[in-house]
Structure 1
Amino acid sequence: MASAGSGFLGARLLPPSVPDPSPRSLGSLLLLSLLVLGVWAWWELSRPVELIRGPEEVGYIPERGRDKAYTANQVRRRRKKGDLPPVYPNGWYHLLDSHLLEPTSVHNLTVCGEQVAVYRTACGKVYVVDAYCPHLGANLAVGGRVVGDCIECPFHGWQFRGKDGKCTKIPYAEKVPEFAKIKTWASCEINGMVFAWYHCDHIEPTWTIPEQEEITSKKWVYRGRTEHYVNAHIEEIPENAADIAHLDFLHEPSILSGIDLRYTKSKMWEFLRHTWKVQWEAEPAPNKHCSRMTLKHASLVFGKHFSLLDVDVVARQVGPGIVFLSFQHSFLGQGIILHCVTPVEPLMQKVSHSIYYQKNYPTIVPRFILLAECTQFERDVMVWNNKKYISKPLLVKEDSAIAKHRRWYSQFYSDNSPRLTFQEDGLDW
């Protein structure tokens, strides 16, 4: 009888030998990893950047032990509003970028305190109508379908024509009443965006949005967008163009110092600073609804002018809520940021920045420009979200452009323009 541990039954099973990896296989693995990383980095940096901020994400200093949403809500409750101008100026307002509105799709959006349904037909035509069905109040943009050039109510199947709002079909009725219709909004699609016209007296558009030829001809291509919500009166945002003094104070620190105003003056980043030369002026007739800011940006590195970072900017405002921010760099080419402000509520503005750039330049260039603009803009958001509007500000002579801007902007208000007359306590995000 075989002793334990001897023979076949007692044999120990040893793991198969594994050869040591050779330097060649390790090199191949490393090369493959670098290739995958490079492909991912190329894909990530070549696609348009989409940076969407929520209403409470930017511009607030969280209270101890509380989250940002709680802090934002408390700021809205406690802040003094001031003697505000009318809250909804007359003009064109951005609804959404064209590429977000696909054929036969419907979007539910808010503009000037109103709910609208924005839809595109199969043929590509865009219509904007009131969101609520006049029958029993269903929201046409929540479950509604696009049928031809009409939008169909998800509740009872009533169909409304986008061109004039006329009801064209009631599935269970013998006849459609002549008075069955919904409100339509004048709209246009231009420069890769969809806009709606608002006027408190229901007057048809009195001016048009200029076409940016480089965008429509595809010489410049879309490279991304940012979206923010600002808790302020709409006029405060474009007024920045005439507030020349704030540029050399709020925006002097480099973008490396971030957006939190408690730390932007940190000595750590003093080696890099921005300087600005700015001029603002209103345009004469027939473009009285336009104004123009010219800006020369320069950078100081350790106190020395670094011309490589110089940028020339022209910001042309068209109406109360659209700005064409064109910029040109000595060797990084040129492009444009379409800056749009849309009033959602009386003191809540949706602000978008969409960048178009020369298509023969690497995408990383416009991405960097957009993110740099975003950083500077978010510093302003922290001020706007917490400030009070002062109707009769204490100005010095160097602030004269602010008074001129307010006189220019007043043309967008009418006698019937709505004002904020109620207390907002109790409203939540």
Structure 2
Amino acid sequence: MTSNPPLKAEINLQQLLEAKSLERCPFPIPTGWFFVDYSENLKTGEVRNVTLFDQEWVLFRGESGKVGMTDPYCPHLGAHMGHGGSVCGDHLRCPFHHWEYDTSGWCKNIPYGKVPPPITKKQAILRALPVQERYGLIWAWFHPACEEPSWELPAIPAMEEPGWTGSRRGSWTANTAIQEIAENGVDTAHLKFLHGAAGIPPVACEFDGHIMSFSIGGTYIVAKAYGPGLNVLEFTQEGSAATMISYTQPVTVDKSQMNMSFRHRDFPEGSKEQLVARKIIDHMIGAAEGETSAGFESVDFVIWNHKKYRPKPLLCDGDGPVLQFRKWFKQFYVADPKILEKV
């Protein structure tokens, strides 16, 4: 005896209930190295409030040039050190009672106390994120359980070695989680239907720990993602090439700041290779500085800013390695298992 298929009204009701239960951005903040600011923007002795990883932090640069990024509230009596706090040597000084903290969160000075709390001799008492400066950028390691970095930032020749040039950058705000933005890299079908590309380029992916290597269109785009916060993409065309370094920031659970730098080999002035490299970059970022469009174009933001995440998507054979990508990305989440069931 066979059961009758569900009525169309019943199917529609199931779909409606599922749609109502979906969250736009069910993801926690992922673990990894993330861009904070350009090194040139943080001056010696400066103290600044920044919002990243779904909370506020205090960013400062000590007199030796060392950068610190800490929780904003003093462990003593809770003063916000981003409002009136100052740099004293290489320490962040609280404006309330002048307790001082180093870039690792250790209390280094209580100017009036003779008997400091015993815990200050045993451990750091102010949460401080591991910070590095690479490629002219300030990076912070975020882990919700405060674990130390489990991988290092990679060497990027285009940003660190001589023989490269280019100072163009772009920055765009998307009202969605960082995973939704990154998923575009393996969803090449949307290039035809959303962007109007001539066809759907093939995509190939390999996953190795925190690194995802992928190529689009054969050798046209060859890329590596180093965790959720850094992507390096090489574009090759007509015997020339350009590099895009993408470093998106998770500002909150449903807001991301996309940032990119564009570089190319220092080809001879007026050469075909130079012209092609600049053409590739123009296509990626827009033909003029300050444009709001890029290679992904504003149409992507229309989708990102309004879509809901489907944890169990209905996929067909032309959709690319979406599920493999999601499995790889899930390793960067540390949260309640009930939350992770949604991603």
TM-score (norm 2): 0.78
Q: 1:135 to 1:391 in 2, by over 3 A?
A: same
1:281 partnered with 2:221: no
Equivalent residue, structure 2, for 1:226: 170
Matches within 5 A, 1:3-402: 81-82=22-23, 85-162=26-103, 164-180=104-120, 181-252=125-196, 275=199, 277-283=201-207, 287-296=208-217, 312-330=220-238, 333-360=240-267, 365=278, 368-372=282-286, 374=294, 376-402=296-322
Alpha-carbon separation, structure 1, partners of 2:338 and 2:70: 21
1:181-216 Cα distance to aligned partner (Å, 9 max, x none): 311112222222221112223221111121112321
> Which consecutive unaligned segments of at least 5 residues does structure 2 have?
1-19, 287-292
Q: 1:100 to 1:400 in 2, by over 3 A?
A: same
- Shift, 1:83, TM fit: 7.6
Q: Is the 8 A contact 1:282 1:288 kept in 2?
A: no
Alpha-carbon separation, structure 2, partners of 1:133 and 1:397: 54
- Root mean square deviation, CA, Å: 3.1
Counterpart code for 1:397: D
State the secondary structure of the residue aligned to 1:406.
helix
Q: Is the 8 A contact 1:280 1:291 kept in 2?
A: no
Counterpart code for 2:231: V
Alpha-carbon separation, structure 1, partners of 2:165 and 2:320: 38
Q: Is the 8 A contact 1:168 1:176 kept in 2?
A: no
Q: Is the 8 A contact 1:276 1:295 kept in 2?
A: no
TM-score (norm 1): 0.64
Q: Is the 8 A contact 2:25 2:176 kept in 1?
A: no
- Shift, 1:85, TM fit: 4.5
Larger CA deviation: 126-135 vs 213-222 = 213-222
Larger CA deviation: 343-352 vs 409-418 = 409-418
Alpha-carbon separation, structure 2, partners of 1:289 and 1:384: 24
Alpha-carbon separation, structure 2, partners of 1:227 and 1:182: 31
Larger C-alpha radius of gyration, 1 or 2? Answer: 1
- Shift, 1:281, TM fit: 0.8
Alpha-carbon separation, structure 2, partners of 1:417 and 1:235: 18
- Shift, 1:93, TM fit: 1.4
Alpha-carbon separation, structure 1, partners of 2:168 and 2:84: 29
Counterpart code for 1:277: P
State the secondary structure of the residue aligned to 2:302.
helix
Q: 1:142 to 1:227 in 2, by over 3 A?
A: farther
- Shift, 1:155, TM fit: 3.1
Q: Is the 8 A contact 1:323 1:339 kept in 2?
A: yes
Counterpart code for 1:389: Y
Q: 1:335 to 1:152 in 2, by over 3 A?
A: farther
1:213-234 Cα distance to aligned partner (Å, 9 max, x none): 2321243245132222211122
Alpha-carbon separation, structure 2, partners of 1:232 and 1:295: 24
Counterpart code for 1:371: I
- Shift, 1:400, TM fit: 4.5
Q: 1:397 to 1:375 in 2, by over 3 A?
A: closer
Q: 1:402 to 1:143 in 2, by over 3 A?
A: same
Alpha-carbon separation, structure 1, partners of 2:294 and 2:203: 22
Q: Is the 8 A contact 1:232 1:348 kept in 2?
A: yes
Equivalent residue, structure 2, for 1:71: none
Counterpart code for 1:295: I
Q: 1:277 to 1:97 in 2, by over 3 A?
A: same
- Shift, 1:130, TM fit: 1.4
Equivalent residue, structure 2, for 1:45: none
Alpha-carbon separation, structure 2, partners of 1:91 and 1:344: 14
Alpha-carbon separation, structure 2, partners of 1:243 and 1:106: 41
- Shift, 1:243, TM fit: 0.9
Alpha-carbon separation, structure 2, partners of 1:144 and 1:81: 42
Alpha-carbon separation, structure 2, partners of 1:147 and 1:80: 51
Percent of residue pairs identical: 29
State the secondary structure of the residue aligned to 1:224.
strand
Q: 1:221 to 1:173 in 2, by over 3 A?
A: farther
